[in-house]
Amino acid sequence: MTMTDPTADFLTRIRNALHAQHDVAEAPASRLSTEIARILKEQGYIEGYELRPPEPRRAGDRVVVRLRYTEDRQSVISGLRRVSRPGRRTYVDARHIPKVLGGMGTTIVSTSQGLMTGHDARQRGIGGEVLAEEW
């Protein structure tokens, strides 16, 4: 089985791990998933992430995301949503980057200068593909 949308798979693995209250979520590593994990870490949605080498009988590196919870075991991430999909890409210019929950959430945008938050892209005046939103 081939995967048509590794980004959606990565976000779904995090969502599922949060729902099951796991401490970590593990997914196949790619440059894009590693960059998404970096942004989630910078924004305080996860504790951290690391790249692990391939295990025997498994192909490719894995990215392991340490999930973050509050003291009463509530997830810091209340929602993760894939915006631009393979069948329907979503591109915006800097003025039209969506704000999630009035600026309380984060938009992840793929720009010509790399992956960044919607806030950073808006400040730099560059648009791109809206990959995901989290709140």
Q: Which of 3-7, 31-35, 76-80 has the lowest mean pLDDT?
A: 3-7
Which residues have CB under 8 Å from 120's CB, separation 6+? none
Asked if residue 66 lies in contact with residue 46, where contact means CB atoms within 8 angstroms, the answer is yes
Query: Nearest-CA neighbor of 14 among 42, 35, 30, 33?
Result: 33
Indicate if the pLDDT at residue 48 is higher than 80: yes
Mean pLDDT of 96-102: 95
- For domain 6-67, the question of CATH label 3.30.1370.30 is answered with yes
d(CA 39, CA 115): 8
Q: Where are the domains of the chain?
A: 6-67, 80-134
- Hey, what CATH topology would domain 80-134 get? Dna Ligase; domain 1 (3.30.1490)
- Whether the CA torsion 108, 112, 113, 114 is positive or negative: it is positive
